[in-house]
Amino acid sequence: MRHLGIVATWLFIFLLVGLNSTGDMLTARAMRRVGDFGELRRKFGILGVARAVLTEPWFYLGLVAMALSFFALLAALSLIDLSVVIPASASLTFLSNLLGAKFFLKEHITLRRWMSGLLVLGGIMLLRA
Amino acid sequence: MSFLRYFLLALIVLGSTFGDVYLAKGMKQIGAISLSRWSDLIFAPFNPYVAFGIVLLMTFYLSYLASLSWADLSYIMPATTFGYVLTALLAHFMLGEHIPLTRWIGILMITAGVGFVTGGPSLTVTPTPEGPSPHLEVHS
């Protein structure tokens, strides 16, 4: 760790993961409400797509959470080693997103997706170990 | 799945992978941010590396929005994790970095996971309190 103690480092990483996941959940919900961009573009043109996104309130909530997570990432990168921040936040965000997709977005996480999620999660941990 | 959709997934992978690298490079130049120097964080985007990182991350974000309009988050996540594999392979073949056996196993696991999820449906429609958009369908 470059500048933070172990407790502060992990608190920072959990803050980053919380903001990341919140941003992903809210953005995914917004885009689900907006609908398929391709279909919208065929019906209403590219301006119609932009209008649909920019008039969606969940999009702005997601954007705020993502902006906060971006500045938290900048601060984290200046305080904690990249080799600690990225793998820890990536694997924890992956896990919290998978749970959020099931319980918040109500996605149907099939056995195939659980298997895939576990393989990828294990892979991230081995790759960054 | 159409070529455009694979292209969008590729943009997500490349934008986030290289975006993070340039952000880290820029923030290393700026140095540690302390509470007494919090304003450095506001001016960080004016560093050229941070600025280029932001352009790449914006490319990632727009592709991400477009992909989430036709696919589940739980479908996009594993597919976009391929960036880790890409970084490891670039480090090995371009920089000559040694990859230990555990990392090769990690690469194989991620690749298998990505292949597994992309072979399945990209969208599972479940009614929400607001109700799904009328044009949402199950894509494969």
List of chain A residues whose C-beta atoms are within 8 Å of the C-beta of residue B20: 86
Tracing tokens 């727009």 back to the chain, one arrives at B62
Q: Which of B57, B88, B135 sits opposite A39 (nearest CB)?
A: B135
Picking from A118, A113, A94, A123, the residue whose alpha carbon sits closest to that of residue B77 is A94
B102 has pLDDT over 90? no
Residues 15-74 (B) with a CB less than 8 A from some CB of A: 20, 23-24, 27-28, 30-33, 41, 44, 50, 57, 61, 64-66, 68-70, 72-74
| In chain B, domain spans | 3-118
- The answer to whether A2 contacts B24, with C-beta atoms less than 8 Å apart, is no
Query: Exposed, middle or buried, B22 (CB in 10 Å: 0-12/13-18/19+)?
Result: buried
Instruction: State the smallest CA–CA distance between residue B126 and chain A in angstroms.
Output: 6
What is the average pLDDT across B5-15?
Answer: 89
Query: Exposed, middle or buried, A25 (CB in 10 Å: 0-12/13-18/19+)?
Result: buried
What is the average pLDDT across B49-71?
Answer: 91
Tracing tokens 């589940």 back to the chain, one arrives at B72
Q: Encoding tokens for residue B59?
A: 């490319």
B92 has pLDDT over 60? yes
A101 SS3 class: helix
| ipTM, 2 dp | 0.80
User: How does pLDDT run along chain A (129 residues), one tens digit per residue?
Assistant: 556 677 888 888 899 999 999 999 999 999 999 988 888 899 998 899 999 999 999 999 999 999 999 888 878 877 777 667 777 788 788 888 888 988 998 888 888 888 888 888 888 888 766
pTM: 0.75
Tracing tokens 């056995």 back to the chain, one arrives at A111
